[in-house]
Amino acid sequence: MTHVYLSHGLESGPEALKVQALKRVVEACEDCEAVVMDYRDQPSHQARFAHLLATLETRGDDPAHCIMAGSSLGGFLSAAVSQRHPVLGCFLLAPALGMPDYPETTLTLGARHTHIIHGWRDDVVPCEPVIEHARRQRLSLRMVDDDHRLHASLPLILRDFEQFLALCQTA
């Protein structure tokens, strides 16, 4: 069983459009289970990171069989988990990488498979640090003509996510 942890962004929640759309893709995938995180009562990114790690530990899921998927701050959290515990996959949407107010601005992702989707018109998380992270680790990166929310790119995101899950399950 592949456990897919879905992490929402800073000002979002577990019912957000992207999280719910990704959850439906996971539910349609054989041998996958969605774990939808809820960080709304976690005030800081440090508390959210601790909550994600505690959930992983409490559930007893083997990180090597987990996919971390997240948007914005949720993408940062997913990447940070993979740095601490190598995971099967990281699927990151407009991940908050290289942000000066986060504890680690240069994460090294420890995922067997990684795919990043980021908008050229993102005015919340600049694309340059994300592109640099992808370049440095030679990670799969798709740049789209969209803003931080990536709502106009949702059909493309869901297709990429389906393919990403299939890739991870054949690995």
DSSP letters, 30-55, are TTEEEEE---TT--SHHHHHHHHHHH
Average pLDDT score over residue span 50-61: 97
Q: Give pLDDT, residue 104.
A: 62
pLDDT (tens digit, 9 = 90+) per residue, 82-117? Answer: 999 999 999 999 999 988 776 666 789 999 999 999
pTM of the model: 0.97
Say whether pLDDT at 77 is over 80.
yes
Axis crossing angle, helix 17-28 with helix 154-170, rounded to the nearest 10: 40
Q: Give pLDDT, residue 105.
A: 61
Q: Give pLDDT, residue 108.
A: 93
Q: Give pLDDT, residue 84.
A: 95
* Strand partners of residue 144: 119
- Residue 86 in tokens: 């190598």
* Strand partners of residue 3: 33, 66
